[in-house]
Each structure stands twice: as C-alpha cells, then as structure tokens.
Amino acid sequence: MSISVGVLSIQGDVQENILSTKAALAELGIDGNVSDVRTPEEISQLDGIIIPGGESTTIGQLSLVNGSLKVLKEKIKNGMPVLGICAGMIMLSNTANDRVVGKTDQPLLGIFDIKLERNSFGRQKDSFESDISLEPINIQKFNGVFIRAPSVTEVGSDVQVLAKFNDRIVAIKKDNVIGTAFHPELTDDVAIHKYFINLVNSFKN
C-alpha cells in the first residue's frame, strides 16, 4: 500500500526534505507520495512526518495557534513515525534550554524525555560539518551538517542514543521517532531518510 509522507511546512527547510524523501522512496522502490503539510486536516492523513530544521520557537508558536501541534502529538502518541531535524528535534523534546538565554517557554511536543541545549555549538557563523557514526542503525559514516544545532545533554531511560559528536549527543530515537541535531537533507546521502521511510512503511503495511 502506498505511504503518505508529509514535511511540516510552517517554517524552515521544507523543499530539501521533500527532495531527499522522494530520493529515498525511489532508492528503496517504495510507493509513496510526499507533500508539504501545515493544517490539522493535512496532518491527520499522514503515515509519517518530517519536522524540518528552522526556528523551533516559530514552528512551535504557529503550529500551536493553527491547531496542528495537538493533532501531531496525538498521531505521534499513536505510533506515527517522525524524523525531527534540528529545530524538529527540539520540537519533539519535553524541555529546551538555550545556551545563552536559558529556559525558553516555547510550545513543544514532549515526546522525548531529554535535557536539550539549543544553539549548543554557537551561532550561524559557527556552523560546521563533521563525519558522524550512527552505529545502532547501521549507518557507519554520515556527513553531519550542523547549523545553530542543539545537543542533548541527558536522555531518559526510554530514549536511545544513536550518535555523538565530541561526547555530545546529536542523534536519538524512541520507538518510531528519530531526532538529529544535524541536517541530513543538506547532503546527497539519503541513508537517514531511507531509515525513516522504512519505519513509515512498516508502520503502514
């Protein structure tokens, strides 16, 4: 059965994720459609969603106001796979502290029981790339692109660490939900998108 994958398009890195997801579907030979979604109605039709990088405070506020945050939370609690990238990983967490301004009262989905630091590696000008290994999901080498990226400083017992960079946690998983601090859609390597699509496919079929 064809799968329906959405990229939350309230703000942030939407088109790049649509392209990576289409490439991942093609490489896997899985039948599916990929669309940008923003309303509760659109989200309720999905089998899987990507919450892209961008600005988590903006994505949170706007999705709270238009009602999509509530629908998203329900769908994720019912097992829908999610790939949360950078701001998307922040959205999935239950607490967020900014490295400079401290605790931010921003709307979050509260799926990952973690402690997280926003802008953990510095500002936009401090962006960098580094090889990352995601051993637990068999991705030995991945080019991690970090842009005002968060890091996870503590994980609850139900959250699996997938990758670290310099002792800081930069990728995590809980059930069908994955979070990366770096941007897989900004590389040509679609291994992480393929891993996510396989989760969506098993969830649906």
Q: Catalytic positions, please?
A: 86, 183, 185
How distant, in Å, are the alpha carbons of 36, 69, 191 from that of 33? 10, 22, 18
**CA gap 73, 118 in Å, rounded:** 21
Whether 166 and 151 have beta carbons less than 8 Å apart is answered as no
Nearer to ligand GLN, 90 or 197 (CB): 90
In the complex, the smallest distance separating the C-beta of residue 52 from ligand GLN, rounded to whole angstroms, is 8
Binding site for ligand GLN (CB under 6 A): 53-56, 86-87, 90, 118-119, 147-148
In the complex, the smallest distance separating the C-beta of residue 70 from ligand GLN, rounded to whole angstroms, is 20
Nearer to ligand GLN, 30 or 116 (CB): 116
In the complex, the smallest distance separating the C-beta of residue 147 from ligand GLN, rounded to whole angstroms, is 4
Please tell me the number of Cα atoms within 13 Å of 58 on its side-chain side.
11
In the complex, the smallest distance separating the C-beta of residue 112 from ligand GLN, rounded to whole angstroms, is 15
**Chain centroid to CA 20: how far?**
13
Per DSSP bridges, beta strands 139-146 and 102-103 are: unpaired
Whether 37 and 8 have beta carbons less than 8 Å apart is answered as yes
Residue with structure tokens 């945050």? Answer: 69
